[in-house]
Amino acid sequence: MARSASRNGFLHALRLRCPACGRGRLFEGWFRMRPRCPACGLRLEREEGYFLGAMLVNLLVAELLCIAVVALLLVRTWPTPPWQLLQWGAPVLAVVLPTLLYPFSKACWLAFDLLFQPPRPEEYERSAPR
C-alpha cells in the first residue's frame, strides 16, 4: 500500500498534492507551503532545513534549462543569432524558470524522500483539519 502510494507520489507531487495521500494541497500560494497536509496530516518539512536540497536541485535544473534554451536558439539561428533577444531574454529566463519550478521542486523532493523513507506514524497529526 505504502509502496504503490509512493510510486504515485511523483504524479501527485506534479499536481502539487501530497505525495503520501494524493489528496491534500501542499501550497497555500505559489511560495507558501503548508506545514502539514490538510488531508492526511503528514508533516511536510520532515526535519530542519529539509527543503535545502530541493532548492539546490531547483536552481540546477532551472539554470540548465536556461542554458539549453539559449544554446538551442544559438544553434537554430546561427550565423545571425538574435543577440538583442538573448541579451535580455536569458537573464529573464534565469530568474523566471526557478520561480516557476519552485513549488514543483519542493513537492518532488518530498515525493522522492517518501519513496526511500516512508512516513512514520509520529509524522502524522491526527487532528489535522480536513
Q: Does 18 bind Zn ion (CB under 5 A)?
A: yes
509502496: which residue's cell? 3
Q: Does 110 bind Zn ion (CB under 5 A)?
A: no
Q: Cell numbers of 52, please?
A: 535545502
505504502: which residue's cell? 2
Q: Which is nearer to Zn ion, 20 or 97 (CB)?
A: 20
Kindly state the smallest distance separating residue 25's Cβ from Zn ion, in Å.
Answer: 9
Q: Does 114 bind Zn ion (CB under 5 A)?
A: no
Q: Does 37 bind Zn ion (CB under 5 A)?
A: yes
Four-point Cα dihedral 20, 57, 26, 113, nearest 10: 20
Three-class SS state of 123 = helix
Q: Which residues contact Zn ion by CB under 5 A?
A: 18, 20-21, 24, 37, 39-40, 42
